[in-house]
Structure 1
């Protein structure tokens, strides 16, 4: 039984050329090359999928999966009567995902590559692919398809892709590698029972693992209710950025070691960029004394957050054992800052997530690496001795998340040119994973993994971030 032509036309009319290219790429493992080459419109693709028994009346799972992967949740809702959550549940079910893990990971690579990185791929492949396939209009999807056609890329042939990613941006390869480990590259053959009585000959290879975002938890935790996150702006992202500690050095002798925090402005810029994209109103305050930090926090504590869904505070400063320093060397307890936003002290944020990211050392001990973990090297590292973390820094009540740069008693690292390991990894993973609907705790797990891989070349020491939370729901920052 064929699908209603009107439904397919309605969906087709909403899709542009780039989205058609994405849909064709995701369908490559199910349609012969000639059929794909003949596709000129989304409707042509849908007809080809119907002929292959991948779309049929009463079974729109593959269409839902395709629209989900290209981010067209609006079409799921408007035309298929579905939702993001429904599709995610379907993909987690055994045999629910029809796009193989390898194909999905290549698609994520395409989505993640910047214009500059795309140009680098073209330059590095100039001797491997025809020049006619490496024009200004060539996309990353085009490159991946040509590499497959030339036998330069396949599920069991990743050496060239790895080499390219290592030369251009190692984080691209790390994400692919992490995804392959997560999925196990396992595929299963759909039986007649799994397909139902469709009358379609043969089976189709589909993934036995749900292609969730890289680093995500593929379990029942994704069924938890999520915090409401629909207001515009979502809320305030407050950045307290202390760089110049000259006032502290002019004071008592014990503060002579508080050097200027070169590189912190790179972190602040990254935080501004990513939280602006996540629809937060970003407000940055620089070089505050301890009293000015308290005054600033009191301003936002007293503000009306009633029409906002969240509050974020990012603290970049020196400190020690449960405190941060103002630029005058005076102390402010971390718990004093977080407790300012409890339901009792800030009623308009009651029941809403309060998120704190603190870039700070938590002591003076060094985390020695082992040989198996020396796969990422950072040069020109500056050791920060910023703050030591105690569990009582986070209020006992619900809805708080505290992300610390490193474990208790250990130092963290900062590059004067590139910023801190923790904040840079945090911003990159937020920007990469939030558009894919990944929750913040999963993102912080990926941040832990990336930072733990880094090694300061100068002293071979490492770093391990640590989140602490009392969240009751999934925390997701949508970009739409």
Structure 2
């Protein structure tokens, strides 16, 4: 039965007044509107344009409320029950429904990590203006980097920040969207036989990991060159004294030259890093690894000092960017940091802590325009409370998971991001089982190719 237009207009007015600013932004996206003014007045105008001319206007409006999770509006304003609505044909584009759902699932930390991963695709200004995942998706859609058929960028971001639950949602959508097309094509194709082994190799399935691992191409353009002897240089700074030797053994087994420094003060850490920086200019290895184990705060590491200057976590990364260390331009730079959190102190940082995100613009002539200054970085930062150190013979869950995953990966040709995914799983499971001894992870990268540590 047709719903009177006057009722539709009344419903639109009530809905626009009842929605929050965040809900209005999501509704504009669901309605495929590019309008940047998400005010109540603009919302009413947009809905009048989109809804009143729709063939099933009332049900379309009800579906929009269902997508927002506003069941109260669905019942009181639209006069439609959830059961009735679930029996109707989907009128809101499923791709946009999915993106809106993913946006609601991502917290502030996840959003910051996604922004970090996209510093090579979107300008700093656009990333700073993006207040939600949907804002980022809109910018990517404008670049034609994301669409219902192009979801690789979204999947890679979700995988790299450890949100495998959302990757599964994305995979379900892709499979459901692909099924009708495959069914249409099936009748047009001649039947052919593909062995189980060939299928497994083509899809890159690793039965032992249960994850997607692309077969390695030794000389392919999508892989970093990694065949010098030694493979690269690894510096390990262990200011706690528990796990540095474990890391040293692991990276030596991976054919890295290794410098292990233990029980350094902040001043000594600063000196050691600068000595390594000078040393890197003389080496011509294929990669660089920096591992640090120390007490610290969110932005500073302390060394063995309980108070004092400390040194900026972000500056550690910037010391070895392509601008300060041209010999590492275009080569992978890996950072693994285990921080034991201490209460916030009135620290006077030796180096000014900069923005949390990697800068990919603004590099000077020391770096070629083709390679952003902070490209080719893999950043894995784990922290837990310093009370963990009070345990007898304490050993970091994160470092143990990392060294175990690296050793297992040595003969299995696994990419660094899949190695990190295995670490994430161990750390998350430990934290779930031991809420009193939580570990937290911040993983992000600007790698431009696949990296295999072999």
- Report TM bin, short chain: 0.3 to 0.5
TM-score by length of 1: 0.44
TM-score by length of 2: 0.46
